Structure formats: structure tokens, C-alpha cells
Amino acid sequence: MGELTTFPVSYKVEGKRIVIVGGGEEALSKARLAIKTTASVVIISANIEADFSDLPVAILARPFEDADLVDAALVFVADHGPDGEAAKRAARAARVPLNVVDVPEECDFYTPAIIDRAPVSIAVASEGDAPVLSRLIRARIEAALSPNLGALARLAGSMREKVAAVLEGSRARRFYEELVTSPEVEAELIRGQGTERADELLAQHVEKGESPGVVWLIGAGPGAEDLLTLRAQRLLQEADVIVHDHLVPAAAVEMGRRDAERILVGKQKGHHSFTQAEINALIVRLGKAGKRVARLKGGDPMVFGRAGEEIDALNEAGIAYHVVPGVTAALAAAADTATPVTLRRVSTGFVLATAHGAESEELRHWASLASTGLTLALYMGKSVAGPTASRLIAEGASASIPIGVVVRAGRKDRVLYRGTLGGLAADELELEDGPAIIFVGEAIAHGDWRGAIEIARSEFKVA
Ligand code: SAH
């Protein structure tokens, strides 16, 4: 964070002038940008070479004079001669923000690639580093946005007083969200049929009254922001409060609205962490207060996520909830290593289990599952990896069953280990920091574990 050397703002130019000093192609291209605004655009140059004839600009075919900067909001200098030098001096003296075309070190500001859906504008900027990339991004965003966005924004703007009189705070926000995403309202706008549908929508929202709170139990995936589902992303943007665990990627938490409250309840060394009972009480309290709560969990909420307890608490309090699945760590680990966790004639099933606090009976059961070819994915087992492997062998699993470990699955900095159950039991291995999945089963041998650290196949000890 904190690495931008420029700050993107929307700068008022109405009623002012945008002065462009220069008469060539560079001046023309800045003029095309400037005329997107309501400012009056003035071109000043003794040599008008480019064709400005189809642009609504004023042309002063003469050298630059200091008085040209009166009422100027911005100055572009696209003249590399004495006229340009004079304009730069004058702009600095008058403290008018200056852009010297193609000379970044002399610029007070850069021009972004602009997506214009007036009154909505989107600027894509790269601090002068990669204008081609900015234009590419602009093209993609252009393609994704309705051409009627501007009209929808104006409609929302025109209803502001009306809405403020009947709805406030989050209720008004919900109305606007629906207004600007409603296909019916958009269709009405295109056909120029007035705002009947929009008014109807407002009446509905007023009638609905205070909406009750809701809790979305959302899976954030294993740590890469682009493994978040589209639904998760949408709900995060609707949430008033985001209650998240420590394992949830920061980029996912960032995705929420800027003014959404964010509460970290996860376990982190050296910080106060909430007990499960406190988390249950928190989401119930927020739900009762009418908040829309995104309860964001790493991986999938229903897999070792204590979602069951939270759902019980919500049910008891009569608060609505919905579950949004996420990519669980074991499946991210399978993807990282191209390991088919089920495989014809090799593995007829896939078991998600936790090695943490496992009882002998459970271990006996898993040992027999692994012996019949099923793939085990062990969660929360890193600190007990060796002993768990020994115990599985003691309960009858073969020491030659392939194993694989993925630390920080789904992330760029993942680390892989592979070997056999016997090797894992024998080796006093220091695994890398971070959460880990331990796979046990014949299917592991069918994955692509290139780059994995080999776990030594020394003699194993039986616990
Ligand atoms: N709900 C989560 C699991 C939470 S329990 C999910 O579905 O993935 C926490 C355990 O999950 C960790 O001890 C580790 O075993 C596993 N885990 C979570 N994120 C992981 C990741 N990125 N890579 C490997 N294991 C992970």
C-alpha cells in the first residue's frame, strides 16, 4: 500500500478554460480529451498545423501570452519551442496545473485513459508508465459497461431530493442499487418513456419498510482473489459489515464497499482473537440491528469453518442467512498439483478430514479407507504430520502409500512436498510456514508434483 505517486481526483472545469499551447497532432489529441468536458477549450499557436475544424474549440492563431491563463483550469503544452517555454513559466507562476506532453518530469498531472458515461467517468492511469496497458484496460471496461450508464446516473441524480424525503441511509442505498441495475428502468430510459418504472420502484421500497438483517456465510477461497465467486464479490459489495477470519485474503476484504465496517475475528498470534461464542454473538447482534453482514471465511464455509455453530445461533435468533460456497483448500491443492482426487480404478472417493485431535478409532478408519485407494485430504494437520503418518501406519495403512503436502495452496507462493506415508512418518520435517493440506492416497502418484521437495524415504518409526 501507499505506492501511488499520484492521486486520482475528479477536477472541476466547468465555466473555466482548458488551454492547449501548440498546433500539431499532439495538441489535437489533447483537444479531443478536453472536449469531453464542458470547459471551453482554447488552442493557442502561431502554427496551426493539425485539423481542428470538427472540434468545438476556440483557435487563437498567434503566440502565447500570459493573459491566456486567466480562468484556466488546466494547461497542456504541446509546443517544444519558445512559445511552449513561455507557457510553462506562466503556468507555474500562476499555479495552474500543467501537463507537458511526453515530458513526464515536467508534468503536474497526467491524463488517464477515460471512459466517458457522463456524468460517470472512469479513469485508468498508470502514472505515465504504461499508457498502452491503460488503453487496453479501458477497452475491456468499455465493453463491460452499458452504454446507458450515464443516463441511469442522471436519473438517479434527478431523483435525489424525492428519495431523500422518504428513505434514508442504507434503505436509500438499496433503492439506488436496484434502480441503476434494473433492466426495466434501463429499457424505459432507452425508449424515452419517462420515469414511471423508477417511481414505482421507489414506492415499493418505501412500502417495504425497514428491512431485516441478513447474514451471508461466504467462502473466500484459499487465498487468491480471483478464486472468489462472482456471487461472493457481489454480496461483499452489498454488505454493511464484513466479519472476516485471519485466513481470508486481504484483497477479498478490500472488495467490500469503502464505508462498510470491517471486523477481524480471526486468530492471529499476539492479537486478541474472538472465541466462537463471541463470533456467534457478534453476528446475531449485527443481524438484529438490521445489518447486512458478510461473514467471510477462508476456503468453503461448510468445511472446517464452524459454520454449523454460527447457523445454529442465527436460527435461534430468527435471523435469515444464506451460504455461498468457496473453493476449499483441498481442491485448491488438487488444482495446484493437477491431482485427480478421484480416478477410475485408482480412487473411488475423496475424504476431507482433520488430523487435529484425531482419535485412534478415526485413524483406524482412515487407514482402511486409504488402503482401499480413497484419497484423504487432511486439514489442520501440519504440526502433527509425522505422528499422524506413524499412527496411520500403526493402524494398518501401508508405508508405501503416496503422500503429498501443499502449503499455501491456491497462492503464488505455494510450496509442495511429496513422498510416502513411511517417509513422512520417519522424516522430522520442518514444513514451510502457512496453512497446509496433506494428501494421502494412490491418486497422488497420478498428479503433477514437479518442483515438489522430496521427503526422504528413510526408515519409519511406528508410534
Ligand atoms: N474452511 C477452510 C478450512 C478452514 S480450517 C477451507 O474450506 O479451506 C483451516 C485449515 O485449512 C488449515 O489448517 C489448513 O489445513 C487448511 N487451509 C486453509 N487454507 C489453506 C491454503 N491456502 N492452503 C493449504 N491449506 C489451507
- Check if 378 has its Cβ closer than 6 Å to any atom of ligand 1: no
Percent of the chain with pLDDT over 70: 97
At residue 462, the pLDDT reads: 44
Region of poorest pLDDT, from 87-91, 139-143, 203-207: 139-143
What residues contact 353, with CB distance under 8 A and at least 6 apart? 362, 366, 376, 377, 378, 379
Which segment, 2-16, 209-223, 295-309, is predicted with the most confidence on average? 295-309
Q: Considering the chain, what is the average pLDDT of its residues?
A: 91
CA distance 285 to 308: 18
Q: Which atom of ligand 1 lies closest to the CA of 410?
A: 22
Report H helices in 145-275. Answer: 149-158, 160-166, 169-181, 183-190, 196-208, 230-238, 250-254
Q: Is 439 in the pocket of ligand 1 (CB under 6 A)?
A: no
Model confidence at 458: pLDDT above 70: no
Phi, psi at residue 449, to the nearest 5°? -105, 30
* Atom number in ligand 1 closest to CA 247: 19
C-alpha span between 456 and 438 (Å, rounded):
16
Lowest mean pLDDT among 29-33, 38-42, 177-181, 297-301: 177-181
CA of 136 to the centre of ligand 1 (A): 36
Query: Residue 404: CB within 6 Å of ligand 1?
Result: no
CA of 154 to the centre of ligand 1 (A): 46
Per residue in 394-439, pLDDT (tens digit) is 999 999 999 999 999 999 999 999 999 999 998 777 889 999 999 9
Model pLDDT, residue 301: 96
**pTM exceeds 0.85 for this model:** no
Distance 217 CA to ligand 1 centre (A): 16
When pLDDT is averaged across residues 13-26 and rounded to a whole number, the result is 96
C-alpha cell of residue 11: 477536477
What's the grid cell of residue 419?
A: 513422498
Q: Which of 228, 309, 437, 439 to mutate to test the pocket of ligand 1 (most atoms within 8 A of CB)?
A: 437
453 falls in which pLDDT band (50, 70, 90)?
Answer: very high
Evaluate: CB of 329 within 6 angstroms of ligand 1: yes
Contact 417/382 with Cβ under 8 angstroms?
no
Q: Is the pLDDT of residue 340 over 90?
A: yes
Residues tagged active-site: 245, 267
- For 92-147, the pLDDT digits (tens) are 999 999 999 989 899 999 988 888 888 899 999 888 778 788 888 988 888 888 88
More confident residue, 169 or 293: 293
Q: Which CATH number fits domain 17-111: 3.40.50.720, 3.40.50.2300, 3.30.70.1140, 3.40.718.10?
A: 3.40.50.720
Instruction: Name 42's bridge partners.
Output: 19, 58
Which of 64-78, 202-216, 229-243 ranks highest by mean pLDDT?
64-78
> Cell numbers at residue 300, please?
468453503
Paired strand residues for 218: 296, 324
405 lines ligand 1 (CB under 6 A): no
Q: Is 427 near ligand 1, meaning CB less than 6 Å away?
A: no
At residue 168, what is the residue type?
A: E
Instruction: Please tell me the distance from the alpha carbon of residue 400 to that of residue 364, in angstroms, as a whole number.
Output: 17
CATH number for 214-327 (one of 3.40.50.150, 1.20.1250.20, 3.40.1010.10, 3.30.470.20): it is 3.40.1010.10
Which three cell numbers, joined as nine digits, stand for 18? 482548458
Q: What CA–CA distance (Å, rounded) separates 399 from 219? A: 35
Q: Which atom of ligand 1 is nearest to the CA of 300?
A: 7
Of 16-30, 122-136, 374-388, give the lowest mean pLDDT range.
122-136
Q: Residue 359 pLDDT > 50, yes or no?
A: yes
Res. 271 pLDDT band, cuts 50 70 90: low
C-alpha 435 to ligand 1 mean position (Å): 6
Residue 220, C-alpha cell as written in the block:
473466500
Domain spans of the chain, in order of start: 17-111, 149-208, 214-327, 331-454
pLDDT for residue 270 = 57
pLDDT category, 461, cuts 50, 70, 90? very low
Indicate if ligand 1 lies below 6 Å from the C-beta of 240. no
- pLDDT tens digits along 211-238: 778 999 999 999 888 899 989 998 998 8
Q: Whose CA is nearest to atom 11 of ligand 1?
A: 379
At 463, is the pLDDT very low, low, confident or very high (cuts 50, 70, 90)? very low
| Sequence letter at residue 288 | K
Decide whether any atom of ligand 1 lies within 6 Å of the 327 Cβ: no
Domain spanning 331-454, CATH class: alpha beta
Give the range among 15-29, 141-155, 318-332, 340-354 with minimum mean pLDDT: 141-155
- The closest-lying atom of ligand 1 relative to the alpha carbon of residue 411 is 22
User: Does residue 245 line the site of ligand 1, with CB under 6 A?
Assistant: no
Q: What's the rounded mean pLDDT across residues 338-354?
A: 96
d(CA 371, ligand 1 centre) in Å: 25
Chain centre to alpha carbon of residue 222: 14
